[in-house]
Amino acid sequence: MAELDKTIIFDSRWIGDHGIGRFAREIFERIDCLEKIGITGKPSGKLDFLWLTLYLARKKKNFFSPGYNAPVLFLKRSVITVHDLNHVDVEHNTSLLKKIYYRLILKRACKRCHKVLTVSEFSKQRIAEWAGISKDKIVVVGNGVSDAFNNSVPPYEHEKPFIFIAGNRKLHKNEHAALRAFAKSSLRNSHSVIMTGSITEELSSLIKELDINDDIFFCGRVTDKELASIYKGASVLFFPSLYEGFGLPVIEAMSCGTPVITSNTTSLGEVSGDAALLVDPTNINEMTYALESVCSDERLRETLISKGFERCKRYTWENTINIIKREVIEKKL
C-alpha cells in the first residue's frame, strides 16, 4: 500500500455475524493497524461510493474494504474484496441497480485498485475473466472457521436422525431440489430434515406437494453455538448449492465431525476436495443415492468424517490473516 500513514482505514460497517460480516469481524479484531471508518450508512447503499470517495478525499490514508464496495477515486491506495460474482452470474439474485453498480463501479475498481482479495480459486478465475485483469492482481485469502465449530460441541437432539440443509431460501441454494431428493429417498420413514431460517409460502407448497409435512423442521435464526450443535447432531450436511464463492457451511460441518454432501460446481469441489461426497446438483436421482449412501454406509461415513477433519485444517482465520498481512499490510505500492 502507499506510504501515506501507518494506519489503514477499514470499512468496519461490514462487521456482522455471518458471511462478509464474519469475514470483516475476524480481520478487524486480528490486525492492529486497521482504523474504523468514520462514516455511517450501509456500505452496500446505492450512493455509498460517493460518500466513501468524499471521505477518502479528506483522509491521507490507505483504504481496505472487506466487501464489494469501492470509491470512485483513490483506488491506487485501496484494496477491495470480492467474495464472488453471485450478482453477475446468478440472474435471479441480482437487480438492475446491482448490475449497473458492478458494471460501472466495481469492474473499474478491480482494474485500478492496488489489490483484489477473494476467497477461492474459482472466484479468482471468474473475477479475472469478468473484470479483464491479470490473475496476479487477485489474492486468494480463503476463509476460516469460528472456534464455536468443533468436534466437542454437544449434538442437537431430535426425535429422529436428521439431515441438515443450511440455506436462506435464495434460489441458488437449490433447496427445492434438495427436498425432492429427500422425498424420493428411502429415508423418509427413518429421518427428518432440519433447515435453517423460516418457512416461506413457496417452500410450504412444495413440502405439501411432496407429502413430507411431518418430516421437515425449521430452526429459525440460530447462534454459532446452536448452529454447531445442529451440525454435530446431523447425520449429514446436505448442501447442493448451485453457486458459491466459497461455501462456509461445508468446512463448518467438517469441523464438527459431520459428513458432507455438496455440489461438484463452482467453488465447492475446490473447498471440499475428497472430504465430501460431490454430486450434480441438477440430478435428483444422484442426490437421492448420495443421501441414502451416507446415511446407511458406516464405512463411508467414517471416511468422510476423518477426511473432513483434515480438510478443514486448511481453512483457519490465522492463515487468512497471514495472507492479508503479507499482501496488504507489508507490501508497498
DSSP string, 183-218: HHSTTTTT-EEEESB---HHHHHHHHHTT-GGGEEE
Residue 1 inside a domain? The answer is: no
Dihedrals phi, psi of 239, to nearest 5 degrees: -135, 70
Residue 84 inside a domain? The answer is: yes
Residue 80 inside a domain? The answer is: yes
Residue-level length of the chain: 333
Q: Is the domain of 39 the same as that of 91?
A: yes
Residue 153 inside a domain? The answer is: no
Q: Which conformational region is residue 84 in: left (phi greater than 0), alpha (psi within -120 to 50 degrees), or beta? A: beta
If one counts the domains in the chain, the total is: 2
Q: Is the domain of 302 the same as that of 321?
A: no
Q: How many CA atoms lie within 13 A of 258 on its CB side?
A: 35
What CATH number has the domain bearing residue 325?
Answer: 3.40.50.2000
Q: Is the domain of 136 the same as that of 196?
A: no
Instruction: For residue 198, give every residue at least 6 positions away whose Cβ sits within 8 Å of its Cβ, in sequence order, or none.
Output: 218, 220
Sheet containing 115-118, strands listed edge to edge, beginning at the edge strand earlier in sequence = 34-36, 8-10, 62-64, 78-81, 115-118, 138-140
- Contact between 219 and 195 (Cβ < 8 Å): yes
Consecutive 10-residue runs of the chain (333 residues): their mean pLDDT?
Answer: 72 93 94 95 94 95 96 96 96 90 97 98 98 98 95 96 95 97 97 96 97 96 95 99 97 98 98 98 99 98 98 96 90 61
Q: Can you give the residue range of the structural domain that contains 62? A: 8-144+316-329
Instruction: For residue 35, give every residue at least 6 positions away whose Cβ sits within 8 Å of its Cβ, in sequence order, or none.
Output: 7, 8, 9, 10, 61
Q: What is the largest CA-CA distance in the chain?
A: 65
Q: Is the domain of 138 the same as that of 172?
A: no
Q: Is the domain of 137 the same as that of 239?
A: no
Q: Is the domain of 191 the same as that of 72?
A: no
Q: Is the domain of 98 the same as that of 184?
A: no
Residue 2 inside a domain? The answer is: no
Q: Is the domain of 104 the same as that of 204?
A: no
Distance CA 239, CA 193 (A): 12
Residue 154 inside a domain? The answer is: no
Q: Which conformational region is residue 19 in: left (phi greater than 0), alpha (psi within -120 to 50 degrees), or beta? A: left
Distance CA 302, CA 91 (A): 39
Query: E strands along 11-66, which residues?
Result: 34-36, 62-64
Pick the closest to residue 25 from 244, 331, 320 (CA basis).
320
Q: Is the domain of 196 the same as that of 299?
A: yes
Residue 155 inside a domain? The answer is: no
Task: Look at residue 3 in the predicted model and tell me its pLDDT.
Answer: 52
Distance CA 103, CA 83 (A): 16
Amino acid of residue 66: P
Q: Is the domain of 196 the same as that of 138?
A: no
Q: Is the domain of 300 the same as that of 325?
A: no
Q: Is the domain of 223 the same as that of 117?
A: no
Cell of 74: 483513490
The alpha carbon torsion through 65, 11, 169, 259 (nearest 10 deg) reads 70
Residue 179 inside a domain? The answer is: yes
Task: Look at residue 5 in the predicted model and tell me its pLDDT.
Answer: 62
